[in-house]
Amino acid sequence: MIRMISFFLCLVVFNSVVRAEDLIMTRSSQKFPEAMLTFQTSIKDHGYQLTRVQRIDVGLTAKGYKTDKYRVVFLGKTDEIQYLVKKYPELIAFMPPKASIYAENDQTMLVTANPGIFADMVDDEDKVIFYRWESDVRSVFADVQNAD
Amino acid sequence: MLMWVFKINHVTLMIRLASLLMLTLLCSVALAAPDGAGLYKTQCSTCHGDNGSGGVGVPLSLPSFIDSVPDEYLEKTIRHGRPGRVMPSFSALSDAQVNAIVQHLRSWSNKPAIQYDSAHVKGDVIKGKKLFADRCAQCHGKDGKGGHGTGVTFSRKRDLPIIAPSLSNPGFLASATDAMIKNTLLHGREGTPMLSAKNTGLSENDIDDLVSYVRSFENRPTLKDSQSEKPVIIMDSPYTLDETVENLKQAIADKNFTLVRVEPFERGLVEEGKENKKQVVLHFCNFNFLFEALAIDPRVGMFLPCRVTVIEHDGKVQLLTINPKMLSKLFNNDELDEACEQMHGVYTGILEDAVL
- Is it the case that residue B309 has pLDDT exceeding 80? yes
* B185 contacts chain A (CB < 8 A): no
Rounded to an integer, the average pLDDT of B216-225 is: 60
**How many alpha carbons fall within 13 Å on the CB side of residue B279?**
20
Are the beta carbons of A51 and B329 separated by less than 8 Å? no
Residue B154 and residue B293: Cα distance in Å, rounded? 11
A98: which strand partners?
A74
- Check B301 against A89: CB less than 8 A apart: no
pLDDT at site A16: 33
b/e per residue, B310-324, with b = 16+ CB within 10 A? bbbeeeebbbbbbbb
B326: nearest Cα among B310, B305, B309, B340:
B340
pLDDT confidence bin for B214, thresholds 50/70/90? very high
Q: At what angle do helices A32-45 and A124-146 cross, to 10 degrees?
A: 140
Q: Specify whether the CB–CB gap between B252 and B284 falls below 8 A.
A: yes
Instruction: Write out chain B residues lying below 8 Å of A27, CB-based.
Output: 45-46, 50
**pLDDT top residue among B142 and B152:** B142
DSSP B274-342: -S-TTEEEEEEE-HHHHHHHHHH-GGGGGG-SEEEEEEEETTEEEEEEE-THHHHHHHTBGGGHHHHHH
Q: Among residues A134, A138, A37, which one has the least CA distance to residue B41? A: A138
CA distance A110 to chain B (A): 9
**DSSP class of A24:** E
- With beta carbons less than 8 A apart as the criterion, state whether A1 and B19 touch: yes
Largest alpha-carbon pair distance within chain A? Answer: 67
Does B260 contact chain A (CB < 8 Å)? no
* pLDDT at site B141: 85
Does residue A16 form part of some domain?
A: no
Domain-located, residue A6: no
Q: In A, which residues are within 8 Å of B87 by CB distance? A: none
Rounded to 5°, the CA angle B317-B249-B262 comes to: 80
Tell me the one-letter amino acid at A117.
I
Task: Classify residue A140: in a domain, yes or no.
Answer: yes
Closest chain A residue to the Cα of B96, Cα to Cα: A16
Does the pLDDT at position A43 exceed 50?
yes
Structural domains of chain B in order of their starting residue, each with its CATH number: 36-219 (1.10.760.10), 232-355 (3.30.310.70)
Task: Kindly report the CATH number assigned to the domain that includes residue A119.
Answer: 3.30.310.70
Nearest to A74 among B50, B268, B321 (CB): B268
Task: Dump pLDDT digits (tens) for B228-280.
Answer: 678 899 999 999 999 999 999 999 999 989 898 999 999 999 999 999 999 99
Average pLDDT on A76-97 reads 95
- How far is Cα B336 from Cα B328, in angstroms, rounded to an integer? 6
Predicted local confidence at residue B103, as pLDDT: 96
pLDDT, residue B211, reads 94
The pLDDT-based confidence of B87 (bands split at 50, 70, 90) is confident
In a domain, A33, yes or no: yes
DSSP H/E element including B236 = strand B232-237
CA distance B13 to B17: 6
Q: How many CA atoms lie within 13 A of B295 on its CB side?
A: 13
pLDDT of residue B151: 56
pLDDT band per the 50, 70, 90 thresholds, residue B24: low
Residues B204-221: what's their mean pLDDT?
86
Chain A interface includes B315 (CB < 8 A) = no
Question: Residue A69: inside a domain, yes or no?
Answer: yes
Query: Does A105 contact B158 at a Cβ distance shorter than 8 Å?
Result: yes
> Which residues in chain B are closer than 8 Å to A22, comparing Cβ atoms?
88, 329-332
pLDDT confidence of residue B337: 80
Inter-residue contact B46 to A109 (CB < 8 Å) = yes
| Nearest chain B residue (CA) to A25 | B46
Q: How far is A113 from chain B (nearest CA, A)?
A: 8
pLDDT at B162 over 80: no
Q: What is the reported pLDDT for B7? A: 53
Which of A91-100, A138-147, B13-22, B214-223 has the least mean pLDDT?
B13-22
A28 pLDDT exceeds 80? Answer: yes
Mean pLDDT of the B64-83 span: 92
Mean pLDDT of the B63-88 span: 90
CA distance B81 to B52: 17
Instruction: Answer yes or no: is A2 within a domain.
Output: no
Contact criterion met (CB below 8 Å) for B193 and B162: yes
Q: Residue B226 — pLDDT band, cuts 50, 70, 90?
A: very low
- Average pLDDT over chain A reads 82
Q: How confident is the model at residue A91 (pLDDT cuts 50, 70, 90)?
A: very high
Residue of B nearest to A67 (CA): B155
Query: Which of B22, B234, B304 is nearest residue A9 as measured by Cβ atoms?
Result: B22
Go through B294-309 and write b for each residue having 16 or more CB atoms within 10 A of its CB, e for each that does not.
bbbbbbbbbbbbbbbb
Q: What strands lie across the sheet with A23-28, from one edge to the other?
A: A23-28, A107-113, A98-104, A70-76, A49-55
In a domain, A3, yes or no: no
Nearest C-alpha in A relative to B30? A12
Top residue of B302, B309, B329 to mutate, by most chain A CBs within 10 Å, is B302
Which one-letter amino acid corresponds to residue B106? R
Cut 0.90: pTM above it: no
| A90–B232 CB contact, under 8 Å | yes
Contact status, residue A55 vs residue A71, Cβ threshold 8 Å: yes
| B269/A96 touch (CB, cutoff 8 Å), yes or no | yes
In-domain check, residue A58: yes
Instruction: Give ipTM to 2 decimals.
Output: 0.80
Report the pLDDT value the prediction gives residue A14, as an integer from 0 to 100: 34
The three-state secondary structure class of A73 is strand
From residue B66, how far is each of A106, B59, B74, B329 by CA, in Å?
Answer: 27, 9, 9, 29
Most confident of B27-31, B93-97, B140-144: B93-97
Considering only the beta carbons, identify the residue of A1, A27, A99 that sits closest to B46: A27
Grade residue B315 by pLDDT with cuts at 50, 70 and 90.
confident
Residue pair B158/B239 in contact (Cβ under 8 Å)? The answer is no
Restricting to B residues 219-258, those with a Cβ less than 8 Å away from any Cβ of A are 231-232, 234
Does the pLDDT at position B349 exceed 90?
Answer: yes
**For residues B100 and B193, which has the higher predicted lDDT (pLDDT)?**
B100
| Chains A–B, number of C-beta pairs less than 8 Å apart | 141
- The total domain count for chain A is 1
Q: How confident is the model at residue B286 (pLDDT cuts 50, 70, 90)?
A: confident
Q: In what order do the strands lie in the sheet with B232-237?
A: B232-237, B316-322, B306-313, B279-285, B258-264
Contact residues on chain A for B24, CB-CB shorter than 8 A: none
Residue of A1, A23, A27 lying closest to B299 (CB–CB): A23
| pLDDT tier, B39 (very low <50, low <70, confident <90, very high otherwise) | very high
| Domain span including residue A134 | 22-146
| Chain A contact set for B94 (CB, 8 A) | 16
What residues have CB less than 8 Å from B351, skipping those under 6 apart? B233, B235, B251, B308, B319, B321
A66 contacts on B by Cβ (under 8 Å): 155, 157
Rg for chain A (alpha carbons), in Å? 17
Helix residue ranges per DSSP H, A17-120: 32-45, 78-87
Alpha-carbon gap: A134 to the closest alpha carbon of chain B (Å) = 14
The 10s digit of each residue's pLDDT in B199-208 is 888 899 999 9
